[in-house]
Amino acid sequence: MLRKANNVFSVLLSDVSQLTSSLPAAGAKVSDLNLGIGAIVVTDLGLNRLDTAAFAALPATGQFFIVEGRGAGTPLMKSPILTKGKILMTLSRHKEAVQQVTIIGYNGTTGALPVSNNSDFFIKIRKRDNDAANRSQPFSLFAGPVKTDLTATEAELATALARSGYQNFRNEPANGYLRMDVISSGVSTGITGTVTSFGFTYGARLVTLNGTVTNINVGDYIRVGGSLVTDPVYLVSAVNSPTSITLATPFVGTTGAVLVANVGVIAAAAAATANFGVRLTGVVAPFDVNQFRDYYANRFTATFSDSTTLVTHVQGAQNGTGMWQQVAMDEYMSYGFEGENNQLAVPSIPRDAIVKIPGIGGNTNLTSKYSAINIAWEESISGLVSMAGGKGNVVIYTNLADVAGLGSLSSTANTGREVLTVLGFTPNTLLNEL
């Protein structure tokens, strides 16, 4: 987010489906009747549309608006008056958020969990963000303690920690905060039988097969998603029939069918001598802009009860740039209070929103991406009550089209691309996703 607490803050959004061809002609007056929802333009102070040539001809003292259409019958959304020679413009490309990943024990290259009979172990997770249910200072959560038996193995300990972590986190205020799965150095072999796909359900232990399997037995591990040592593995606790198996721990991947080519089996004997690790991955936090505008990528620290065990920080959390949650927050906050204050028991009223939200109106994660043009401005307003200049930011969030999984502003002649060009930025690929 690009806003600052001491600035006048304005937000405008473009919809990539609003094409330049639908705009009023250059020099024509824009209104709610000829500017579609999510169409944005540059205008003079009389709301006459400026094209590239007209904007370039403006002197340094020339003033203009950025204007967003909100639909017929709804007032236009306008930026403050901007003076061409008193602005500083910067661009921010869309960048996806990244969730934190930390591994206890074997990390895909090196490391191991301890092998100690009849011993207690636990993972301590120190949560570093406020969550929607808790609103608290950082607190600790645990996977474990779990106790090994008299013939301990890394496989046994990893599975027990993952099972405990799932159960403990499921009922905590931080429900869904982390995902725990198990990885192993064990080499997996291909599945034999007539099966072509395995059906998995998040949070369930039962796995259904669309055909028979002949080389999976109780005590084996199945590797799901590929053959890499970093693909998760699950202990088989029961073979119910040739077409149904039960896992020792709930499945924590995405619900759906996995092709047999992406499932392998590690025999129990091989698993007994392999290295194992428990992987902790942050999960996207729930977000509702009309209830509490609190977006973040989950952050945590993890320690293990055996201090000699390797703890690998694989990647840190990043909030990303132009994530729909950030855009929704900034759009909402730019409206001001509007007489609403949900913190004083006044029920919140959902506000008009242009932001695209996955799952609403046919939008998906791929079509709900944004880049940003940030216009910082400053004006002299010194007088009887002020000796400082007025300053602020206008943030233009440009919605991106999905092109083979990447967000693109340049792929269509849309109004966001037009504004980028009018403001003097070339080429028009400058706001495509990184």
Per-10-residue mean pLDDT of the chain, 434 residues long, equals 62 96 96 95 97 96 95 92 94 94 97 96 84 57 90 96 88 69 96 96 95 96 96 97 95 95 96 96 83 78 95 94 92 71 54 88 94 89 61 93 95 95 92 88
* Residues 128, 134: Cα–Cα separation, whole Å: 12
**Residue for token digits 């997996």?**
188
Task: Please state the pTM of the whole predicted model.
Answer: 0.85
pLDDT of residue 173: 53
Listed in sequence order, the residues at least 6 apart from 387 whose beta carbon sits closer than 8 Å to its beta carbon are none
Write out pLDDT tens, residues 296-350.
Answer: 888 889 999 999 999 999 999 999 999 999 999 889 888 775 555 555 445 556 6
pLDDT of residue 138: 62
pLDDT of residue 392: 87
